[in-house]
Structure 1
Amino acid sequence: ALENIKTPSSAARLVMERTDHIHLVGEGARQFARAHGFKEENLLTEKSRKMWLRWKENLSDKDDWLPPKDGDYDLEKRPTGTINILALDSKGDLAGCTTTSGLFGKLPGRIGDSPIIGAGLYVDNEVGAAGATGRGEEILRTCGSFFVVEQMRAGKSPREACEALCQRIVKINGGADKIDFNDKIVAINKNGEAGCAAIRGSKNKPPQAAIITAAGIEIIEGTYLIEVS
């Protein structure tokens, strides 16, 4: 939705603070960012460029975009880069941000869950906040972050609310044996309690979230539904 701007979340904050709009996308978003002093720059790393070329090679056996043995790029392990940040300040006000580089290999025009309020991010200052990473289509289908906040409104803890969303996603996909993707959810409530959960995980690699306070940094572990190796 906004290309060549290193900090799109900062531009999104200005949309929230200086306009009455919810979303700006495409050329309009670029013009807005430029007008507010954001610099356009090429954000494509050399590694990502080569992964893209290798992906193009795999689309056809007649194309050679890279020379042989030019790096080992496992396209099954697509790069990820979504970040959720949820905050509770000293006045008791909640805030949140979800920012992402998007899905690798997506069709042009695809919109993921990250910029959609109620999907990749939702904040209700009376209840709590939630954010999601992973397969965005499933978060969109379930209005994921909104669902989690409403679960907290109904009395669930942040961790329990995140678990409830994971269970819902598995159910609407036909059960655990149909799941070949992952989603991770983080949440915080008005009391400052935080939790997380994921659809897939392992004992050696459970879902985690970092809690940062004046006392320091604490890493909490969440729960998961499906054990993977």
Structure 2
Amino acid sequence: MAAEGMDKASQLLENNSSAGDAVEALIKEVEAYPFYKSVGYGGLPNEEGVVQMDAAFMDGDTFAQGSVAAIENTLHAVSVARKLSQEHYNSFRVGEGATKYATLNGFEMTNMLTDRAKARWQKRLKEIEQEHLNPYDGHDTVGAITLAQSGSMAVATSTSGLFMKKQGRIGDSPLSGSGFYVDSEIGGAAATGLGEDIMKGCLSYEIVRRMGEGESPQEACDHAVYPFIRKLKKHYGKAGEFSLVAMNNKGEWGVATNVEFTFCVATNKEPRKILMANPGENDTTIIEPITQEWLDAYEKRIHEPIN
């Protein structure tokens, strides 16, 4: 999902752009693509057929943060979040207040519910009524961490959230320390998965904290994510999907997940590549390149007609 955006961000960083500009450009590329059903334009709506988006931005140099939640009719929620990060007060806006802020500050406004997303919503309504299926299907945030040549870092997230969610539902993506966190002196992390369960732990902050104590990004991800999932299952009885990515201020990266999870990496030493992570044994993560067969199947799946 982030591959094309990462190409754009990589080019910006090569040209000495800021980490903030690069991460915003990356996320905007995903938000604008109508076939990604869990982010931005074409994102799947809530139970009332309304696309409500959550997004966040954080500057690793200053700790400035901006977030929006349940924002509507705004093409680039991440850009609104970044603009809000410049505000000391009122930097996290929700619902009508977030949408009004976007309108008054000249952000591009549009109907985010595409015909394709509407058709998928209508199909799910029929399935729920006729087959008594679980309404909640589909949640996948785009989260990205960037490191500029200057050493500055930034992180951002964006999502349309849980498909068929209740009006005003908010997940982990705009919540500092849960869905994202970055400190340019250490590194950053971002999360995707079932927000209601991810927000039960402050895993993005915990990963950054562990990197600050000397753990590699991969060690920090493994040591933060897997023990917490076990604890959540013990105390809460279950755990949804968890996937977290991290990068330190040296450009080293790590991932931990309890499901099959694809992600992208690009550095100044090697071009962008798409990898797949799966949970391994003894709190470890198995990371392998994706196959062309997998990529072809993915492209076919996201473009197939809605019947």
Between 51-60 and 147-156, the greater mean CA deviation after superposition:
51-60
TM-score by length of 1: 0.80
Q: Distance in 2 between matches of 1:61 and 1:221?
A: 36
Separation (CA, whole Å) in 2 of partners of 1:101 and 1:219: 23
- 1:132 aligned residue: 191
8 A contact 1:184–1:196 mirrored in 2: yes
Q: Partner of 2:103 in structure 1?
A: 34
Separation in 2, partners of 1:12, 1:98? 9
Report if aligned partners of 1:148, 1:187 keep a CA contact under 8 Å in 2: yes
Residue 221 of structure 1 and its aligned partner are, at CA, apart by 5.1
AA of the residue aligned to 1:91: S
Superposition deviation, residue 223 in structure 1: 5.0
Corresponding residue number in structure 1 for 2:182: 123
Residue in structure 2 matched with residue 60 of structure 1 by the alignment: 129
TM-score (norm 2): 0.61
| Structural mapping, 1:64-75, within 5 Å | none
SS in 2 for 1:17: coil
Contact map agreement 1:195 1:222 (CA 8 A) in 2: no
1:157 equivalent in structure 2: 216
Q: Does 1:210 align with 2:279?
A: no
| Residues 189, 244 of structure 2: 8 Å contact kept | yes
Report the count of equivalent residues.
211
CA contact (8 A) 1:207 1:224 kept: no
Which structure 2 residue ranges, 5 or more long, are not aligned? 1-69, 286-307
CA distance in 2, matches of 1:165, 1:133: 15
Aligned residue among 97, 112, 134 for 1:43: 112
Q: Which moved more, 1:213-222 or 1:41-50?
A: 213-222
Q: Which residue of 1 aligns with 2:82?
A: 13
- Report the Cα distance in structure 1 between the residues aligned to 2:267 and 2:134, rounded to whole angstroms: 34
Which residue pairs with 1:70 in the alignment? none
Greater Rg over alpha carbons, structure: 1
Partner Cα distance (1:221, 1:152) in 2: 22
Distance change (3 Å), C-alpha of 1:20 and 1:76: closer
**Greater relative contact order (Cα < 8 A, sep 6+):** 2
Partner of 2:242: 183
Aligned partner letter, 2:271: G
Aligned pairs (5 A) from 1:141-152: 141-152=200-211
Please report the RMSD computed on the Cα atoms of aligned residues, expressed in angstroms. 2.8
Alpha-carbon offset, residue 28 of structure 1 = 1.4
Q: Which deviates further from its counterpart, 107-116 or 208-217?
A: 208-217
Deviation, 1:200, is: 2.1
AA aligned to 1:209 is: C
**What amino acid does structure 1 have at the position aligned with 2:246?**
A
Give me the whole-angstrom Cα distance separating, in 1, the residues matched to 2:206 and 2:147.
20
Indicate the residue corresponding to 2:279 in structure 1.
Answer: 224
> For the Cα contact (< 8 Å) 1:166–1:225, is it kept in 2?
no
Is the 2:141–2:159 contact (alpha carbons within 8 Å) kept by the matching residues of 1? yes
User: CA offsets per residue over residues 79-103 of structure 1, 9 Å max, x none?
Assistant: 3441111011111111010111111
- Rounded to whole Å, the distance in 2 between the matches of 1:41 and 1:207 is 30
Q: 1:222 offset after TM fit, Å? A: 4.3
Contact 1:51 1:75 in 2 (8 A): no
